[in-house]
């Protein structure tokens, strides 16, 4: 958050600006890590939405998050934007803009003019001459660039500091909270299969949105859930999603008529869900943000694509956990074209691979700067 101390002092830390959704922020983590390595300090992240702070809590490459929660508010009516401009005015470090939306870039341009940010202090995603197709590779190429003001001072980071896959981290409190939730639900020791049916745009005015390319038919979900239950009779299948999706998930659960299907839309906040992903047997998800989280924490995963391309948005596991992605924009325009039999086969393959020894992610290294930040907060 924008604390008073953070606004008053001159800031030399690198700044990353991205007004994205949940999955977009997960994909920023390789860029944040690379910039931390190159400039020797963790990053400030300027972003929108309430999910950034819980998502990146304790991340070793994030010093703090400057959220713009009401980015659509007119400038004269947005004290939050004035405070952010004042904070940016005190930033003398490099600024990396990883946004590609013309609308958002226009807003960032106005914010930078208000803050007096010079062009030679910044690098923009649009500066890439031939950007790679996948978002992670594109962001790493951005991170290798240097704003003109800093060119004599910075060398490229070593290959050891390149993350080819996003990474998220948990701490002991996250794991204790997850374990307590499992005890309350009577699920301790049971395999957990997570299923993400909805996405940010799945529900409109309390009803499933028409024309949603990521909406898999309820009959398909029912067939998949029954197959998972038959294959893993001791497992609990947890249907996760937002509170707005509760009715949709309850409809799927009722149709599946399976005693071990649990709808959990009201007691799985972001950190608890991430911790549950760490130990879950596997996950099946449409192409949405939680699937990026699952891959980044090492959860075995099946992703069902609609009109987007896996070559651009494909999930990558830092732990080498199995990931199977079905459907592609070059072959279809809706996830409904993925057959349930194909999804069942994919999950069976992932379950078989997940049954073998599961690799663990390395714990983040705690640096002196993190100790200072925690002590000051």
Q: How far is CA 261 from CA 92, 225, 249, in A?
A: 52, 8, 10
Is residue 357 predicted with pLDDT exceeding 60? no
With bands split at pLDDT 50, 70 and 90, how would you rate the model's confidence at 377? very low
**Mean pLDDT across the chain, nearest whole number?**
86
pLDDT at res. 130: 87
Domains observed in the chain? 4-167+364-376 (3.40.50.2000), 172-354 (3.40.50.2000)
The residues near 215 (Cβ < 8 Å, ≥ 6 apart) are 202, 208, 209, 286, 306, 334, 335, 336
pLDDT at res. 74: 65
pLDDT at res. 79: 78
Encode pLDDT of 107-139 as tens digits.
Answer: 899 999 999 999 999 999 999 988 899 999 999
Is residue 161 predicted with pLDDT exceeding 80? no
- Do the beta carbons of residue 23 and residue 270 sit within 8 Å? no
CA angle 231, 237, 240 (to 5 degrees): 150
The residues near 173 (Cβ < 8 Å, ≥ 6 apart) are none
With bands split at pLDDT 50, 70 and 90, how would you rate the model's confidence at 356? low
Q: Which of 9-23, 180-194, 242-256, 301-315 has the largest mean confidence?
A: 180-194
Is residue 200 predicted with pLDDT exceeding 70? no
With bands split at pLDDT 50, 70 and 90, how would you rate the model's confidence at 45? very high
With bands split at pLDDT 50, 70 and 90, how would you rate the model's confidence at 212? confident
Give CA–CA dist 159/119, Å, rounded.
Answer: 28
With bands split at pLDDT 50, 70 and 90, how would you rate the model's confidence at 307? confident
Is residue 208 predicted with pLDDT exceeding 80? no
Closest CA to 193 of 116, 104, 297, 300: 300
Average the pLDDT over each of 9-23, 37-51, 62-76, 345-359 and give the range with the smallest value: 62-76
With bands split at pLDDT 50, 70 and 90, how would you rate the model's confidence at 258? confident
Q: What are phi and psi of 120, to 5 degrees?
A: -75, -5
pLDDT at res. 306: 87
CA angle 202, 166, 220 (to 5 degrees): 35
- Do the beta carbons of residue 347 and residue 282 sit within 8 Å? yes
Is residue 234 predicted with pLDDT exceeding 70? yes
The residues near 125 (Cβ < 8 Å, ≥ 6 apart) are 97, 98, 99, 100, 131, 138, 142
Is residue 93 predicted with pLDDT exceeding 60? yes
Q: How far is CA 260 from CA 238, 281, 305, 346, in A?
A: 8, 15, 26, 21
């Amino acid at each position: 958050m924008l604390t008073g101390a953070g606004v008053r002092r001159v800031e030399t830390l690198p700044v990353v600006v991205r007004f994205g959704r949940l999955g977009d922020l997960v994909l920023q983590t390789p860029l944040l890590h690379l910039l931390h390595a190159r400039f020797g300090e963790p990053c400030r992240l300027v972003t929108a939405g309430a999910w950034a702070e819980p998502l990146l809590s304790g991340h070793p490459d994030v010093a703090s998050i400057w959220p713009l929660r009401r980015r659509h508010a007119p400038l004269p009516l947005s004290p939050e934007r004035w405070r952010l401009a004042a904070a940016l005015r005190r930033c003398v470090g490099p600024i990396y803009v990883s946004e590609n939306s013309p609308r958002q870039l226009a807003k960032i341009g106005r914010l930078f003019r208000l803050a007096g940010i010079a062009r030679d202090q910044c690098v923009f995603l649009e500066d890439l001459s031939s950007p790679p197709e996948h978002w992670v590779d594109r962001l790493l190429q951005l991170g290798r660039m240097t704003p003109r003001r800093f060119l004599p001072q910075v060398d490229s980071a070593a290959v050891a500091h390149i993350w080819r896959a996003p990474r998220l981290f948990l701490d002991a409190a996250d794991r204790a909270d997850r374990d307590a939730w499992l005890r309350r639900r009577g699920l301790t020791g049971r395999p957990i299969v997570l299923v993400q049916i909805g996405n940010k745009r799945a529900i409109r005015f309390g009803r499933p949105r028409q024309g949603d390319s990521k909406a898999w038919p309820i009959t398909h979900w029912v067939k998949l859930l029954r197959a998972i239950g038959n294959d893993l009779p001791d497992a609990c299948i947890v249907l996760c999603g937002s509170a707005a999706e509760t009715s949709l998930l309850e409809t799927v659960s009722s149709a599946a008529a399976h005693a071990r299907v649990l709808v959990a839309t009201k007691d799985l906040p972001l950190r608890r869900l991430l911790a549950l992903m760490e130990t879950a047997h596997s996950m099946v998800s449409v192409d949405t943000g939680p699937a990026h989280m699952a891959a980044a924490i090492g959860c075995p995963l099946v992703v069902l694509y609609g009109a987007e391309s896996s070559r651009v948005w494909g999930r990558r596991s830092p732990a080498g956990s199995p990931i199977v992605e079905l459907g592609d924009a070059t072959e279809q325009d809706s996830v409904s074209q993925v057959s349930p039999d194909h999804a069942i086969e994919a999950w069976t393959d992932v379950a078989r691979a997940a049954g073998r020894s599961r690799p663990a992610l390395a714990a983040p290294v705690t640096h002196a700067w993190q100790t200072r930040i925690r002590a000051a907060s």
